[in-house]
Amino acid sequence: MEPPVPVSGEVLVDVRRAGICGTDFELFTGEMPYLHDGNAAYPLRIGHEWMGTVSAVADGADQPWIGRRVTGDTMIGCGNCERCRHGFHHVCAFRVELGVRGGRPGALAEQVAVPVSSLHALPDAVDDAAGALVEPGGNAWRSVDAAQLRRGERLLILGPGTIGLLCAMFARAAGVEVHLLGRPGMSLDFARSLGWDGVWTADDLPDVPWHAVIDASNAPELPARAHELVEPGRHVVHVGLAGSPSFVDSRTIALKDVTAVGILGASAGLDSTIAAFADGSVDPRPLVSTTTSLEGLPEVLAGTHPKDRGPGPKIQVDVAAR
């Protein structure tokens, strides 16, 4: 591939670390819905969980960015429509999503060009591994914020994957009692090793009041279960997506006076995530099971995991590795 060339208002970033997301796997296998509804098409350069160092700027971008460690917003709105003008660029109808939607080349590469307006500086206290977890962290921070819990209240998270565990970390940092629900196996065993208040399967989930439920799973039956489990008058947050439609009975929502919140994108949570990673209140690095190289990436996407992989859910690419 030819090296990317930043256009006006953009910077060029030398990528140092990038995460492999479930969305990247779906784009690789062809299962990603965007491929079927016209929002994405091959060829596509994937990668939207990343950090790196700014190496060049184009016209309209400030020179002081050169040499700075950064990450960036995946969701890039048009900047002109009503949604963008009111702070909802992440749902702009004309948005592109880095490495995902609209053909914008992503960050699983040596370099990536991004708008300067999407950049977020990384302090030295946020190392490369944590920096490449800011994007999923932003989704998790927004999910916990949307749950509207007070200190000491009880949260149930459905799905012990990367987003679910990051939600648990942010919730615990806020003084919330954290429980996770998952299927028996390695993911649930790893979740237990992180010391939450409770880690359960469907067979042993206790019958207690759940003051909020976050669905971070990809199981089509769990959105409805979340609304059944949550306390009346409380919040259910949907950040996970199933590969097939999920059905929720609106009578359950209305008769329980439940608020259902959808989360798309990390935009509004990026700064808060960086701050939590920097001050140590949330340390996402245990979630990284191993790193691979760009040369090793195709095998990982095809389902062959590195032999040295640990129990965590996240594989990252060390772009400098060979």
Closest CA to 11 of 81, 139, 89, 107: 107
pLDDT at 28: 95
pLDDT at 322: 74
Mapping DSSP to helix (H, G, I), strand (E, B) and coil, where does residue 232 land? Answer: strand
Residue located via tokens 């350069």:
45
Backbone φ, ψ for residue 128 (5° rounding):
-60, -45
Burial of 173 (0-12, 13-18, 19+ CB in 10 A): middle
Strands 210-215 and 230-238, bridge-based pairing: parallel
Instruction: Outline where the chain has alpha helix (H).
Output: 22-29, 34-37, 82-85, 128-131, 134-147, 162-173, 186-193, 222-229, 250-255, 270-279, 297-301
pLDDT at 307: 86
pLDDT at 60: 77
Backbone φ, ψ for residue 115 (5° rounding):
-65, 140
CA angle 107, 163, 78 (to 5 degrees): 50
Contact assessment for residue 120 and residue 71, using Cβ atoms and an 8 Å cutoff = yes
Contact assessment for residue 43 and residue 125, using Cβ atoms and an 8 Å cutoff = no
pLDDT at 59: 86
Backbone φ, ψ for residue 122 (5° rounding):
-110, 125
pLDDT at 161: 97
Domains of the chain are 10-133+284-318 (3.90.180.10), 140-262 (3.40.50.720)
Please give the chain's pLDDT, 322 residues, in tens.
889 999 999 999 999 999 999 999 999 999 999 999 999 999 999 999 999 999 999 987 778 999 999 999 999 999 999 999 999 999 999 999 999 999 999 999 999 999 999 999 999 999 999 999 999 999 999 999 999 999 999 999 999 999 999 999 999 999 999 999 999 999 999 999 999 999 999 999 999 999 999 999 999 999 999 999 999 999 999 999 998 899 999 999 999 999 999 999 999 999 999 999 999 999 999 999 999 999 999 999 999 988 889 999 999 999 998 7
CA distances for 88 relative to 102, 186, 231, 303, angstroms:
18, 38, 29, 36
Strands 69-72 and 119-121, bridge-based pairing: antiparallel
Report the 10 Å Cβ neighbour count for 298: 11
Q: What six digits make up the tokens of 78? A: 């048009």
Contact assessment for residue 160 and residue 182, using Cβ atoms and an 8 Å cutoff = yes
State if pTM tops 0.85. yes
In whole angstroms, give the CA distance from residue 226 to residue 235. 10
In whole angstroms, give the CA distance from residue 222 to residue 215. 7
pLDDT at 20: 97
pLDDT at 165: 98
